[in-house]
Chain A
Amino acid sequence: MATLELRGLKKYYGNTHAVDGIDAAIAEGEFLAILGPSGCGKSTTMRMIAGLEAPSAGEVLIGGKSVTHLPPRARNVSMVFQSYALYPHMSVLENIAFPLKARGVPRTERDAKIKWASAMLGIEPLLQRKPGRLSGGEKQKVALARSLVRDPALFIFDEPLSSLDAQVRTMARSELRLLHDRTGVTTVYVTHDQIEALGMGDRIAIMQHGRVRQLGTPQQLYDQPADTFVAGFLGSPPMNLLQRGGRIIGIRPEHLLPAPPGTTDDQSFELQVRIKRLEFLGTDWLIYGLLETGAQGQKVLSKVSPGIAATLQEGALQTFRVERMCLRFFDPATGSRVDDGPR
């Protein structure tokens, strides 16, 4: 366990700025999720933390000490790759033993560690198998055991769930977080899946174009997005961003609810919407509409419960209402949030 600090971290490939100045401090035992679309620089950042890529500028500090110029093996980090990177020519047991052997851990201690790690992940029956004969979920557990067995200062996960089936993924998510809570190792978790980031991270760093757009708890990011990128990235579906006067108004679809006309009060804000389509999502309905007041023709989305959806009709003109405290305002020029709510 250790703290992790990034200071002005940059990586350029020729003229492309893959990572363009990242500053972040992660506390001991914290679970930080790095979230962003593909090509945002999150993988490069992670690879620089692990030592697989040398930064063009800036520093990486683990446990307060600079490791910027150390090779990966001297950083005491462990990593679970997206593909799990299990060594195909070694059995599961040899895979788990590999980091210990590479560090010259004595045999008795090694055996104890392997036993402990494989028990924790419930993979004892698989120890003699070759990785080629494991399922996706089993491979993930072996990769976890291999990274766990040597008490790393820092865990790095590179989209470890993306190659799992959808059903297994939900389970694996909570298991992974529970594992973190049990071992308490500082963790950096890279993903493009916001559900994973929101559900697992103590804090989330959202990245775009090589920069961190916002770093905060999942709730902060969701409720007080720092800019239109974060607002438009998080949430499914994401925030409605409507051009209104000199500002952009942000409304979460679940806050935009149909209301009978003429019941306006000071606390709420009304929009006239032409309903284009109703879409059933299981627990909710999604309403696709076009704005008929203000900036006409803008698309808006609303998410409502089945009871409310039953009262709506495609093609009808409907009044929607938002509580004023749920509105967020952004500057159209910079994209930054400009209301005075907490950041």
Chain B
Amino acid sequence: MKKILRRSSFYLGLLLFTMFAVFPVIWMVITAFKQDGDLYNVANNPFIYNLPPTLKHITFLFTHSSFPTFLRNSAFIGVVVVIITLLLAVPAAYSLSRLVGHWGERSGIAVFLVYLIPPTLLFIPLYQIVSFLRATNTVWALILVYPTITVPFCTWLLLGFFKSMPRELEESALIDGCSRWQSFLRIALPLAAPGIATCIVFAFALSISDYIYAAVFVSSTAARTVSAGVPTELIRGDIYFWQSLMAAAAIVSIPLAVAYGLLFDRLVKGFQS
């Protein structure tokens, strides 16, 4: 009896937390398929379809808005940022964990602190740098600045990864005839593959998520990302295209959530080191 009580209170707690997390998302998904007549009637129960659901607003999103452009820009920026991030963060993390002595191994928190410097502190001088480089209103402005967010984060993540890898494996490679560089390429790098995969997901997600830089550095629709483009394009003055807004948000967020969710345990481990 006590056991049942315990179990049910456990699931009740879990359910409450989950409801808090997903209620806004459920509301978002419900809205995306509603007809105008249904949505804008205060008397209606907002949680059910009083009129049959419609795909009209999703079609609108893809055919009559710049959403496809935003998606393309976000994807392009994401891919390039991921590549830059890996090229910078993987060698840096390996160097800190193995090659530059004790202070390197302990630099984890310091590296993460760089990630925590908020864009709001930096966006004004960065805006000047970007305009100095004549990169405003192009995707390259964002490609230039996003690694300031992703490199510290991924270096920190990989630092923990390399530190947890047994040193003897690389030392064994050194004795077996590799130079330090070769042992990094042939032993450490393949073994860090799960960590690198995690970095790819996060670098991509972080570059999609940014709003401030995207809003400040880019004002032309052609170069906008999803994060900055959706709120500006689909909110015109007082007119809100709610269903399309919600559909756009859902289309971007749900795949990201799945990727994050599958990496949940790895993140927990990342904070243990």
Contact = CB atoms under 8 A, between A and B. Distances in A.
Q: Is the interface of A mostly helix, strand, loop or mixed?
A: loop
A102 B186 CA distance: 10
A85 B178 contact: no
Given A87-B187, A88-B191, A73 B168 contact: no
A93 interface: no
B217 to A, nearest CB: 42
Contact of B174 (A71, A82, A83, A150): A71
A85 B182 contact: no
B172 interface: yes
Contact of A72 (B175, B186, B187): B175
Q: Is the interface of B mostly helix, strand, loop or mixed?
A: helix
A103 B177 contact: yes
B265 interface: no
Contact of B176 (A52, A82, A146): A146
Interface in B35-69: none
Interface residues of B, number: 18
Contacts, number: 57
Interface string A69-81: 0011100011101
B174 A73 contact: yes
Given A71-B179, A98-B173, A85 B190 contact: no
B169 interface: yes
Contact of B175 (A77, A82, A83, A87): A77
A74 B177 CA distance: 7
B177 A99 contact: yes
Nearest to A99: B176
A144 interface: no
A50 interface: yes
Contacts of A133: none
B166 interface: yes
Interface string A101-126: 01100000000000000000000000
Interface string B185-203: 0110011000000000000
A145 to B, nearest CB: 12
B195 to A, nearest CB: 13
Nearest to A98: B176
Contact of A102 (B168, B169, B178, B190): B178
A87 B186 CA distance: 10
A182 interface: no
Nearest to A74: B177
Contacts of B173: 87, 98, 102
A133 B33 CA distance: 52
Contacts of A81: 168, 171-172
Contacts of B169: 85, 87-88
Given A52-B174, A98-B173, A102-B173, A85 B179 contact: no
Candidate in B173, B175, B176 with the most chain A CB atoms within 10 angstroms: B175
Contacts of B176: 73, 78, 98-99, 102, 146
A153 to B, nearest CB: 12
A50 B177 CA distance: 12
7 contacts: A51-B174, A51-B175, A71-B174, A73-B174, A85-B168, A98-B176, A102-B178
Interface of A: 50-52, 71-73, 77-79, 81-83, 85, 87-89, 98-99, 102-103, 146, 150
Interface of B: 166, 168-169, 171-180, 182, 186-187, 190-191
Give 7 closest A-B pairs by Cβ, nearest first. A102-B177, A99-B176, A85-B168, A85-B172, A72-B174, A103-B177, A81-B168
